[in-house]
Structure formats: C-alpha cells, structure tokens
Amino acid sequence: MDQTKKRIKPNQITLLPPDTRVFVTLINPYGEEAQKSLELSVNTTKEELQSILQQLVKTEEDQVYSFFHNNIELIDTLNQLIASDPEYKLENTFSLTYHPQSLFRIQPITRQTAALEGHEQPVLCVQFRTHGDVLATGSGDTTIRLWDMLTETPIATLKGHKNWVLCLAWSPDCKYIASGSHDGQVCIWDVETNQLKGQPLIGHTKWVTSIAWQPMHLDEECSLVASSSKDGSVRIWSRISLSCLISINAHQKAITKMLWGGQGYIYTASEDTTIGVWNKSGKRVQELKGHGHWVNSIALHTDYTIRCACFSEGNTEINRKQAKVLYDKMLNGKNERLVSGSDDQTLMLWEYTSSKPKVRMTGHQQQVNHVQFSPDGRYIVSASFDKSLRIWDGYNGNWIATLRGHVGSVYQVSWSSDSRYMLSASKDSTLKLWSLSKKKLAFDLPGHADEVYAVDWAPIGGEKAGSGGKDRRVKIWRH
C-alpha cells in the first residue's frame, strides 16, 4: 500500500503520554538540517512548528510549510505522527522533512467552457501566454491561431509555415512566439502586429522537435532562441538579425526534446539513448548516459520559474530583475535537477555535473512519453503508454503513487501553478484532473471527440486550461 495514502486515525494508534518530550530534527528537501535536534513536546502542533522553522531559516512570516515523516504528512500534533512509526524509539531523534508550500490555491478545473473551431487539421501544440490571457495553438493545417481568453474568441491566424506546426514557445517577455514545423523551418512572430518577422528561418534538414528561448535573466532582450530537430542538430537563432548564430551537431540520431536551462546550458534528449549538455557556444559540457532506449522527454525543476519569473500575479509589467531573484531562490545554491523519461520504461534523475544518473526510477510497464516537475520542484509526474501516471519525489526519485483511470496512452501532463493538481491528456479522448493530496482522480473531463495530443494549464492566475487534439478543436476548461 502506498504510504502517502495512509490516514492516521486516533483509534488505530497508541499515543505517547501528553507530557512526553522528544528530540526532533528539521530537514530540508535536500537532506540538510535546519538546526541540530530540538527538544519539543509531543503535543507540538503543525502551526507551532511553522513558527519555529520560520525563525530558524529566517523566511518570510507568511511562508507556509508542510512536514513529513516517512512520506506521511503531519496533520495535527507530533504525537500522532510519531505513533504512526512503529520502529521509532524515544531515545532516537525524530526526523521531519519540511517543504515550502504555495501561498495561494488554484481552484480545480471542473468544466468545459468553450470549444473553439477554426483549425482544419489536428491541433498538435498549445501554450498560454504567461498571464493566461492569450492561448496559442499550432496545427497540422500549417497555421498558428491566437485566442482571446476573456471572450474565448479568435484574435489572429498566423500564416507562414508550409507544413505541420509541431511546436511553439512564447518568449519570456511574451512579445514573440517562435514555432517549428515538419519541413524543418522556424518562424518568429511579433505578437503585437501578429506578423511573421522576416522570412522563415531555414537550416534544419528534418522536422523541428523543440523550441526554447534563452531565459530572461540571461537575456533581457529575449534575443536568442534555439531549435532542435530530427536531423540531430540544435540551431541558435538571433531574433534580431534573423540568422543562425551557431549550429550544434549534437547527436547522430534525432533529438526528441530540447531545453534551455537557467544556468546557461542547453539540454538535448535523443534517440541515441543519451542526453547532451551544451553551452551556447556549442561546446559539450557533459554527456548523460544511462538509458537503454530512446529518451523521449526531459524536464528541469526550474522550468516553471523560468517561464514565469519576470511576471507576478496581477501585474503584466515585465520585471527583469525579479527574474534573476526568483530563479536564484528556486535554485537555492544548488544545480538544476533534470529528469528524463525513456522508451526503456524508466525515468532517471540527473545533475549536469555527473555523467551518471543520481537515481533510476522504475515501475512503468511501457514507454514513458512525458515527464514534468511540479512548479515548486518537489514532485515529478510521468505519463506513459501503459495508460498510467506516476508521481515521484523530485529530490530523491522515490516513487509516491500511481494514478490509474485512463483507458488509452497518456500523451501529456500539465501542473496547476500551486502544485496541487495535474491535468492529463490521453489517447482515450479525455482529460483527467488528479489531486496530488488525495493521490486519485478528482474530475473526469470528457469533451474531445478523438485523441487529445496537448494540454496546458495557464501559469499565472491558473483559472483556465487549454487542450487540443485530433478532433481539430481547441477546448477551454475552467473551475
């Protein structure tokens, strides 16, 4: 039985006498002690621990934490949590791992509010502008469409590609969109005019698999964007000169996914079973080896922070200095954590400083199609062709829960910005909303008439999600 599903009931445990005192060690997610052990009453509450921890680590007074022991959360007092561990002895120190919690709560997505028509072929990629006011969708009909989320109506149709639009990405300042197509071309669009900048960028000999902009705190002008391709190369393009600055012959086989991390490195996952780590001058920094088959998906624990760091809730003004501050806070003096999912049915957790994985995560029965860190970096979700999702600890790779409910392959997953819910898109034509706290299905969201290929949950605000698939319709979902 999954430990995280246990609920501690007073009539199932033997509590210690109320005047008992125990030694408690508070440990952060990286395994570092906040302070040497504290002597506390077994009647210490979660709220009292919050106050103690805030003083020890000198965080903001409104920062909220959750506390865990052996994957079981502290709900009421220490006494009940201690009694849940039959192996604990009073002479030992009781360890509690603390995790910072989001200061806001996102309402769960529960209903469809619009079915937007316009695309003439399947919708292959969807992505919200950071504030969630505009949704961009790419399709097999060679166009990108922009949709106004206030009125749920079309804004513009961007025409310039000559083949399927396979991927797209908003620039960190949300003024541009870069997109890649099946014929290997990359287009950069000015969202203020809804026009293509110059001509399509030509260089790849096969289709484009990923687009990634250099993070805001490294490039305030959002002048560089990278693309990866089935041809095994990465190209770095200048938005300003509309030219290819560097071409990296990264792999002998296709690149399936590419990311541009906040430490300045570009990460490439490939069908050659390896992951490459590159600096922007094209030099390979590290080669990550461990998988036995194609690497299908990679994700960084800083992905959400990089996407949203230069904006804040309720403010559409760009704050470039804030981007660096929030990124450094997320990094916490460590390196970026990378997770990969493969056709060998496993996931692996990495740091770029080592060519070997920190941990190998097993459990899926078929290919792992998509992996993603929660916005707070604490969890990893993996989606597989075995029709399930799995939740893993984002720090040590430990398995937490398996989520079953889909009757077809799961293609993609998107987190709510408070890291409390996940939306999954599946071959079975449904989306499903999952509760992280309950580790089970929260809402079934039918509506599509065929396979759902892509889903995105609006990052800031979080009151809406968008999806697209084989039925050519873009669906909008709200709480």
pLDDT digit string (tens) for 240-290?
999 999 999 999 999 999 999 999 999 999 999 999 999 999 999 999 999
DSSP per residue over 310-348, as a string? Answer: T-BTTB-S--HHHHHHHHHHHHTTSPPEEEEEETTS-EE
Residues 164-204 have pLDDT tens digits of: 999 999 999 999 999 999 999 999 999 999 999 999 999 99
Q: Which residue would you say has higher pLDDT here, 227 or 104?
A: 227
Lowest mean pLDDT across 8-17, 245-254, 414-423: 8-17
User: 109 pLDDT exceeds 90?
Assistant: yes
- CA pair distance 421, 474, nearest whole angstrom: 21
pLDDT at res. 61: 57
Angle at 77 between CA 75 and CA 81, to 5 degrees: 70
Q: Using 50, 70 and 90 to split pLDDT, how confident is the model at 10?
A: very low
Give residue-wise pLDDT tens across range 441-450.
Answer: 999 999 999 9
Q: What are 110's two structure tokens?
A: 């529960």
**Average pLDDT of the segment spanning 289-315:** 89
pLDDT band at 70 (very low <50, low <70, confident <90, very high): confident
For residue 34, the model assigns a pLDDT of 79
What mean pLDDT do residues 135-162 have? 97
13 pLDDT higher than 70:
no
pLDDT of 315 above 70? no
7: pLDDT strictly greater than 70: no
Cβ(145)–Cβ(136) below 8 Å: yes
User: Where do we find the tokens 């106004």?
Assistant: 148
Average pLDDT, stretch 81-92?
85
> What pLDDT shows up at residue 18?
85
Q: What is the mean pLDDT of residues 414-428?
A: 96
Rounded alpha-carbon distances, angstroms, from residue 363 to 166, 341, 345, 391, 400: 30, 12, 8, 11, 11
CA 95 to chain CA centroid, Å, is 29
Maximum Cα interatomic distance, the chain, rounded to a whole number of Å: 76
Stretch 218-233: mean pLDDT? 96
Average pLDDT, rounded, for the chain: 92
pLDDT at 74 over 70: yes
In this predicted structure, what is the pLDDT of residue 313?
Answer: 60
Residue 4 has pLDDT above 60, yes or no: no
pLDDT of residue 68: 86
pLDDT of amino acid 173: 92
When pLDDT is cut at 50, 70 and 90, the band that residue 66 belongs to is confident
Residue-level pLDDT at 85 = 86
Q: How far apart are CA 298 and CA 10, in angstroms?
A: 43
Q: What is the mean pLDDT of residues 369-388?
A: 97
Indicate the pLDDT class of residue 35, thresholds 50, 70 and 90. Answer: confident
Q: Which of 310, 439, 315, 442 is nearest to 381 (CA)?
A: 439
> Residue 146 pLDDT > 50, yes or no?
yes
Q: Is 429 left (phi over 0), alpha (psi -120 to 50) or beta?
A: left
Local confidence band at 46 (pLDDT 50, 70, 90 cut-offs): confident
Question: Beta strand 337-342 with 347-351: parallel, antiparallel or unpaired?
Answer: antiparallel
- What percent of the chain stands above pLDDT 90? 71
Torsions phi, psi for 81 (to 5 deg): -70, -40
Please provide residue 347's backbone torsions phi and psi, each rounded to the nearest 5 degrees. -115, 155
How far the first Cα of the chain sits from its last, in Å, is 32
